[in-house]
Amino acid sequence: MQILKIKTSDKEELIDITDRISKLINIKEGICFIFIRHTTAALLINENESGIKEDIAKILKSTVPEGKWEHNKIDDNATSHLKSAFLNSSLTIPISDNKLMLGTYQTIFLAEFDGPRERELVISFI
């Protein structure tokens, strides 16, 4: 198991972490398991293209608008928690020949919704 720390720079952003994960691969065949240790950030796989990244941000913003959410009484970041709930806290990706078996346009993203912060990913190769 390895811990990968990633510093985010904006309130909300999608950060391509594919190369960082790929550099950690230490097995020829198996799976890569990635888990994010936060409730205001998430993981996803999609194309690293500016239009789709804007579309993802737009759909999440329209699905979870700023508002008078109950959690805001405790900590004013309810939208961050709610947006991350629509995505994943973990991903499992096959490995073959020491490489992630991602499709041609697939990219692993860390989705930040409450930044800037330092995020921790737990990565296991099985």
CATH number at residue 37: 2.60.120.460
pLDDT band for 49, please (50, 70, 90 cuts): very high
The structure's pTM equals 0.95
pLDDT band for 78, please (50, 70, 90 cuts): very high
**35, 95 in Cβ contact below 8 A?**
no
Q: What is the mean pLDDT of the chain?
A: 97
Give the other-Cβ count within 10 Å of 21's Cβ: 20
pLDDT in the model for residue 1: 94
pLDDT, one tens digit per residue, over 5-27 is 999 999 999 999 999 999 999 99
Share of the chain above pLDDT 90, in %: 96
pLDDT band for 33, please (50, 70, 90 cuts): very high
Q: How many domains does the chain have?
A: 1
The whole domain housing 37 covers 2-125
Nearest to 115 by CA among 29, 9, 19: 9
